[in-house]
Amino acid sequence: MTGDKKVLFSGMQATGSLTLGNYLGALKNWVSLSDEYECFYSVVDLHSITVRQDPAELRKRARNLLTLYIAAGLDPEKNCIYYQSHVSGHAELAWILNCFTYMGELNRMTQFKDKAAKHADNINAGLYTYPVLMAADILLYQADVVPVGKDQLQHLEITRDIAQRFNHLYGDVFTIPEPFVGRVGAKIMSLQDPSKKMSKSDENPNGSVYLTDDADTVMRKFKRAVTDSCANIAYNEEQPGIRNLIDIYCACTGKTPQQTVKEFDGKGYGEFKLAVGESVVDVLRPLQTKFAQLQKDKAYIDSVIKNNGEKAERFAAKTLRKVQKKVGFPERIR
């Protein structure tokens, strides 16, 4: 339905400030895959309201995120960059898929358990059925591939299960998507606690590098990064802090862990941390410059939102009509 190319879908939430983890684990791969596939990159604002948001703040963050996709190198002429809330098919398909998803499956979702613990005063049904909305996002575009960080793999699994169940009942309706997880950077950990993933919602701002951090802040955070007392730059499970820094360095420079270990053989942690910080600054600088330029061009960003929103809607409508017919909803009379 989209021509010769296979279809790619991915999305990010506009909640909190984007971290280096989001960039290295997802956005960077999106850019590298964007020529090969017909791509849909969504700002998934429907997902964001599963936790309470300030409306004005959410709108601002959503626009900034969409702008950041472009600043990171995604060409909106070739990639469909749009707001999830502008395509009603996401919510409509999610309702249908809710009826094909078991509570037992949702009960197993670790992200739900984590978020429910964090937001104990607001364990709403949307938070619970979040993975079904995510399945709807992906299946609506008949995506072949979904680039994500490791933390989203369980959601990809349930998406595949729901799609297979639906296909089993109604014939070949959905493409079964494959996750794409990058070789490096798939799980960037907190700089303050390398047993936890780097997260937008971390209360300790020193644990996360934000894409908006200036060079001094980035360097300060890396200088303070938690390491160990081994005094040896090696890539192993026993040294998770150093391992995380090596992962970040490799993702930013394109080097391998082996090359990195060799490069810093006999050097101190202080020197290594500075090098990692500088590699991050080098990656963030052009991104921030481009972002600042684009932010000023209101008319251009508005035109991307309008045109790509309409394009996404056209694609989504095809799948939705097919699904509605399969489950037995009456045909529209035109």
Active site residues: 115, 197, 200
Instruction: Considering the complex, state which of residue 239 and residue 244 has its C-beta at the smaller distance from ligand TYM.
Output: 244
Q: Are 222 and 280 contacting, i.e. CB atoms less than 8 angstroms apart?
A: yes
Residues between 17 and 56 with contacts to ligand TYM, criterion CB under 6 A:
21-22, 25-26, 44, 47
Min dist CB 102 to ligand TYM, Å, is 20
Instruction: Considering the complex, state which of residue 10 and residue 239 has its C-beta at the smaller distance from ligand TYM.
Output: 10
Residues between 164 and 193 with contacts to ligand TYM, criterion CB under 6 A:
186-188
Cα separation, 7 vs 140, in Å, equals: 11
Residues between 70 and 89 with contacts to ligand TYM, criterion CB under 6 A:
none
For residue 277, state whether it binds ligand TYM (rule: CB under 6 A): no
Min dist CB 177 to ligand TYM, Å, is 9
> Which residue lies nearest ligand TYM, judged by its C-beta?
25
Instruction: Considering the complex, state which of residue 86 and residue 232 has its C-beta at the smaller distance from ligand TYM.
Output: 86
Cα separation, 211 vs 20, in Å, equals: 6
Label residues 120-145 b or e (16+ Cβ within 10 Å = b).
eeeeeebbbbbbbbbbbbbbbbbbbb
Instruction: Considering the complex, state which of residue 203 and residue 331 has its C-beta at the smaller distance from ligand TYM.
Output: 203
For residue 198, state whether it binds ligand TYM (rule: CB under 6 A): yes
> HEC profile for 281-292?
HHHHHHHHHHHH
Instruction: Considering the complex, state which of residue 63 and residue 197 has its C-beta at the smaller distance from ligand TYM.
Output: 197
Instruction: Considering the complex, state which of residue 54 and residue 331 has its C-beta at the smaller distance from ligand TYM.
Output: 54
Distances (CA, A) of 74 to 32, 40, 45, 200, 304: 9, 11, 19, 22, 12
Sign of the four-CA dihedral 149, 151, 157, 162:
negative
Min dist CB 175 to ligand TYM, Å, is 14
Q: Please identify, among the stretches 4-12, 121-129, 233-241, 289-297, the one whose residues bind ligand TYM according to the rule CB under 6 A.
A: 4-12
Q: Is 222 exposed, middle or buried (0-12, 13-18, 19+ CB in 10 A)?
A: buried
Closest CA to 305 of 119, 58, 29, 82: 82
Closest CA to 5 of 30, 39, 29, 32: 39
Binding map of ligand TYM across residues 108-147, x = CB under 6 A, - = no contact = --------------------------x--xx-------x-
The alpha carbon torsion through 201, 205, 211, 212 (nearest 10 deg) reads 120
Query: Which residues on adjacent β-strands are paired with residue 19?
Result: 210
For residue 10, state whether it binds ligand TYM (rule: CB under 6 A): yes
Q: Please identify, among the stretches 49-57, 119-127, 148-156, 250-258, the one whose residues bind ligand TYM according to the rule CB under 6 A.
A: 148-156
Min dist CB 293 to ligand TYM, Å, is 24
Closest CA to 46 of 82, 7, 9: 82
Q: How many CA atoms lie within 13 A of 100 on its CB side?
A: 24
Min dist CB 47 to ligand TYM, Å, is 5
Min dist CB 115 to ligand TYM, Å, is 10
Q: Are strands 178-180 and 38-43 parallel, antiparallel or unpaired?
A: unpaired
Residues near ligand TYM (CB under 6 A): 9-13, 21-22, 25-26, 44, 47, 134, 137-138, 146, 148-149, 151-152, 186-188, 197-198
